[in-house]
Structure formats: C-alpha cells, structure tokens
Structure 1
C-alpha cells in the first residue's frame, strides 16, 4: 500500500466511523458505479480518505487496493491526507500568474512552513494551487474558505494570515 495515504488515530469515535464504512461497503458492493459515491461518503465522515477505510472497502467489495487508489487519486475532490481548518487556494491562472501569484504562493508556503497540497503541522491551514478561481479582474487572488482576497502582492500575506486568530508568527 502506498505510504501517501495517512493512517487514522483509532479512537472510539473513529472506530464507529470505520464500522459505518464497513456497513456502507457491504450495502453498496452490488450496486453499479458504487465506488465514487462510497468514497464521497467516507470523505464526508473523516474529512479525507484514511488508509484504514480504504482497506475496509478493499476487503468488503473485493476491489483491489490499486483500483481504489487509482480512483481516489484521479479525482481532485478526494484527499488522502487530513485537510486544514482553513483551505487557502492561490490562483495560478494566466492573469494571476502574470501579476505575481507565484510569489504569493511561495510566501504563503514559507510563512506557514508547508508545501502546496499539504497541511500545516498544527492542522490549521492547507495550501492549494488553483488553475483559475474566476476573478481575473482582481488578479492576483487567493481565497481562504469562501473569502476572496484580491489585487495582492506577496507582502499582503502576513496581513491576511493575521486575520486568523490561530495564526501565530
């Protein structure tokens, strides 16, 4: 199994969720096209697709782990790692990129000490690069959750992060 899939801390609550995954897997396996909706359901339970849940799906449905992993990694909606409380998306579309969004992304990664596609050690922020966020007139932009920040320069990153009480330099 790939080491890219994060394991789950086994608590009573998580064990109950895994039991639910087992039941969902058993109930779903005879339905056509069940894998993607099943993965969506698992992700809604945990916030990502933990290794243990995928193993249960493999065992109960007799779908190979490689096929499950292929589906989970093909669709960008699925996450194999826990995501942060705040999802930061930096637009790298043409208009934003030309106006410096890569510098903003680099500054965010540096300040939060993480990489694109990863979550900070404290679990507060996840950073994503987006191809286009549809606000070219405000380029360059980033979003944190549903909030849009536009016409940015890399020096704006600290000011924006300070809006989130949990962020400490």
Structure 2
C-alpha cells in the first residue's frame, strides 16, 4: 500500500489507529540504532533510511535522483514490513537473522529476499530489529552495494 505522505510523521498519522503505536515504536528503534550517515526520508511511499547524495552522490542505480536505499518500513494491507537491503545482498547477514529470529519470537518467520513480514504486530521483535539495524555502517553498505548491484 503506497502512501502519498510527504514526511514520516504524516505517514504514521495516516495509519489505522491499531498500527500507530507499534509503528512509532519500530521507527524509534530504527532511529535509535541506525549508524551515523543514514538519513530518514519517504521513499517509494514508505518510511525509508538511506545514504544521502552528500555521502554517495551516485544515488540509487535504479533512479540516481534518489538516495541509496538501505532500509524501509511500511504498513501493508495484511502486515507490517521491514525491507532491509543488507540481508538481500549479504547471505551471512541473512543467515544470521534467520538463526537469531527464534531467540526473539515464537511466531513463524515470514521473510523474502529483503522483506520481513509481521502479521501479528504485537510480536515484532524490536530488540532483534535493533541489532539488525546496527549491523551495517553506511561505508559497509556502499561497498556491498557496489559489489552486489553495480555493474
């Protein structure tokens, strides 16, 4: 569900009441743990965290006018999603997350290439998300991005 919101605060304000509280908590966990150099924006109709052009002038290869995306959170129709490009590009990080998840949640993990879906919003493992967010610096993401995605 793509949002037309212009800021993260407006995005959250426009959420259904039953999702606002958990979304605020998820956003706070990300902001509190995001390494310096990433910035928060609205990107692709979601709250996004990426590397600004001031640090990575090339931008995103799919649309160089956009900052280099790293992480996004979104309220979808049937779930809340965390999109993490690092777990898509780094198999060891993906494997780490899969192995750690059962230590933080009794719910079955619902994960795609970069999308982690949470149908039961009261069971989002915020402490695990905090660890995941801390695992990669902007410098590490740029290096990984350029080897994994750039030709």
- Give the structure with the larger strand fraction: 2
- Structure number with higher relative contact order (C-alpha < 8 Å, ≥ 6 residues apart): 2
Q: Which has the larger radius of gyration?
A: 1
TM-score by length of 1: 0.26
